[in-house]
Amino acid sequence: MSRVDRDTQLSDSVKIGSHVLIYPNVTILGPCVLGDHVTIAPGVIIGADGMEYHRNEQGLLVETIHKSGVVIGDHVTIRANTTIHRGATKPTVIGDGTKIGPNCNITHEVKIGKHGLITGATTIAGETELGDRVYIGPHTIVGSRLRIGNDVSIRIGSLVLHDISDGLTVAGSPAEPLEAFKRHREKLKRLLDETQ
């Protein structure tokens, strides 16, 4: 049995699995599929239009229509005030067991693998794909059309601009492998010490 708060707004093309808990002031626009044992906290918006534009021959911005929806797997938790945008030609996908923190922005056609942990105030830009068991620290930005491997850890406040291979831990702005990040930080500290 699922519990949907009376203040939740659901469009007709939303399919809800079993044992789903949806708190107040949630908006879910279809097409959208929610798996089983999903929890959605207050203020979440699922299925919002992605912000994707192209310029026409006159140089004016024309919006790309997003019709493909959102697919959310089983045992997913989405915390307060997160927005998940629907895809244009293929759905935005949140894999089984993934947990998404508050105030995140998951944009159009992002694909998040299984058992990921996406912490608060993270933005993942359009068409990026994350593997399984990816950890993303708070206040991180992941660029568009990237491929993030399995078992990747992205440290707090990183700016990811390039693909990341399986098993790497990265940090920084722009993000780089953790050992390189530590070396560069130490070098910068020495340089600053020398100027004082």
Asked whether residue 142 carries a pLDDT value surpassing 90, the answer given is: yes
User: In order of start, what are the domains of the chain with their CATH numbers?
Assistant: 3-194 (2.160.10.10)
User: CB of 68 within 8 A of CB of 89?
Assistant: yes
Confidence of residue 64 (pLDDT cuts 50, 70, 90): confident
The reported pLDDT for the residue numbered 192 is 77
What pLDDT, in 10s, does the model give residues 21-36?
A: 999 999 999 899 999 9
What pLDDT, in 10s, does the model give residues 69-109?
A: 999 999 999 999 999 999 999 999 999 999 999 999 999 99
The reported pLDDT for the residue numbered 66 is 86
Tell me what the mean pLDDT of segment 33-47 comes to: 97
DSSP state string for 103-165: T-EE-TT-EE-TT-EE-TT-EE-TT-EE-TT-EE-TT-EE-TT-EE-TT-EE-TT-EE-S-B-
What pLDDT, in 10s, does the model give residues 149-180?
A: 999 999 999 999 999 999 999 999 999 999 98
Round to whole Å and give the CA distance between 81 and 68.
22
In sequence order, the β-bridge partners of residue 70 are 32, 92
Rg of the chain, C-alpha, whole Å: 19
Residues annotated catalytic, as ranges: 108
